[in-house]
Amino acid sequence: MVKNIPPHGGKLINRIASAEDREVLLDKAKNYAMKKIQLDSREITDLDMIAVGAMSPLEGFMCKEDYDTVVNNMRLANGLPWSIPVTLSASKEEIEGLKPGNDVALIDKANEVIAILHLEEIFHHDKTKESLEVYGTDDKKHPGVDYVYKMDDYLLGGKVSVVNRAKPGDFLAYRLDPAETRELFVKRGWKRIVGFQTRNPVHRAHEYIQKCALEIVDAILLHPLVGATKSDDIPADVRIKSYEVLLEKYYPKDRAMLSVFPAAMRYAGPREAVFHALLRKNYGCTHFIVGRDHAGVGNYYGTFDAHYIFDEFDAHEIGITPLFFDHTFYCKACNGMASYKTCPHDSANHVILSGTEVRRMLSEGEAPPPTFTRHEVAKILSEYYQSTR
């Protein structure tokens, strides 16, 4: 019988309140003058991912001991690997009158109560330390660091009970919780599933490493991130169209699956590579592709730092197998896709285009060469770029 890989920590967390508890908590929030805190889009996304087990073993926003050990040592207080702090911030005014043991109503931008925080701790947010340790810089030009410095000055820790799940209006056909992807993997008889993280369109280089990985596993989960990203990243709806056409025309239908990954992008480079791997384990993946400069931005990280960071953990405690890939490209001399590990030819033979050059070509209606991207993908991207001119 096909079984799923165990989730991180051994148990798939569920923090969605039962129908009975939901009514009690909503009544308490309404009638007992419960303090309310409004969440931003990342906090709402994190909350939902905690609730459905995507961030197992977390049951809520981090308390100080977990936060400190994650920032300092990439581990939770119990020693389990975890590389990114998952926190809820609050202002001095918001914490006034609050104390551990209180319940706090967490509300969305429409002021609807979406969850109750069972407050355990209030502690000061050391933004400089978090930036330097997690992102490797305190430069506010780094989008992850910029977010940290814009957070409020205090962090609230405690378990959560979700009473009204967020209602995304997009990609509904592809929004699958970890319990659902796990059920589908078993139903399809897939024992070994490789996850692929992306916030960009899939070009030929990505396709090449995905298909290399498919040679050693049963199936691939194309799991594009659709949470908050930088303003200059290609919008998720455009990317989804490009994934759909690729899967339809160039991938085996019984060995490939598309589902969206709702997380917000941190751009934390190596640490986020570990984070992405652990969360894909919770979705049921047994393997995870780590390419060059995974989750990087600008020149803040070395090309293969996201590979090297996995050496800081024992394989059994990570529990998901990372598959490391070098820089890949089309080589004219090889007459095919290759990487620096497999190609002996001079770089003059390699079809490598910068993001700036690709954007220029697409915005001007010029198609990148088919050795760089499939023409169907180029058409979708060209229509998008020309519409934004």
Categorise residue 10: left if φ over 0, alpha if ψ from -120 to 50, beta otherwise: left
Q: Is 350 exposed, middle or buried (0-12, 13-18, 19+ CB in 10 A)?
A: buried
Which residue pairs from 117-120 have beta carbons closer than 8 angstroms and sit at least 24 positions apart in sequence? 117/37, 117/60, 117/61, 117/88, 117/156, 117/158, 117/159, 117/160, 118/60, 118/158, 118/159, 118/160, 118/161, 119/156, 119/157, 119/158, 120/63, 120/157, 120/158, 120/159
| Tokens encoding 300 | 């803040």
Query: How distant is the alpha carbon of residue 298 from its chain centre?
Result: 18
Enter the DSSP assignment of 173. G
The closest alpha carbon to 14, from 58, 53, 62, 43, belongs to 53
Of 101, 158, 148, 102, the residue nearest 125 (C-alpha): 148
Neighbours of 130 (CB within 10 A): 22
| Residues paired with residue 369 on neighbouring β-strands, in sequence order | none
Q: Which helix (H) or strand (E) holds 198?
A: strand 193-198
Catalytic residue among 14, 164, 200, 349: 200
Q: Treating both helix axes as pointing N-terminal to C-terminal, what angle do 355-363 and 375-387 enclose, rounded to 10 degrees?
A: 70
Query: Is 335 an annotated catalytic residue?
Result: no
Residue 85's SS3 state is: coil
Contact indicator for 121, 157 with CB cutoff of 8 Å: yes
What is the amino acid identity at position 203? H
Q: Select from 26, 175, 176 the least CA-distant residue to 106.
A: 26
Q: Give the pair of three-digit tokens for residue 303.
A: 């090309």
What distance lies between CA 386 and its chain's CA centroid?
Answer: 29
Catalytic annotation on 4?
no
User: Distance (Å, rounded) from C-alpha 67 to C-alpha 49?
Assistant: 18
Beta strands across the sheet bearing 336-339: 336-339, 328-331, 350-351
Given 15, 42, 182, 199, the catalytic residue: 199
Catalytic residue ranges: 199-200
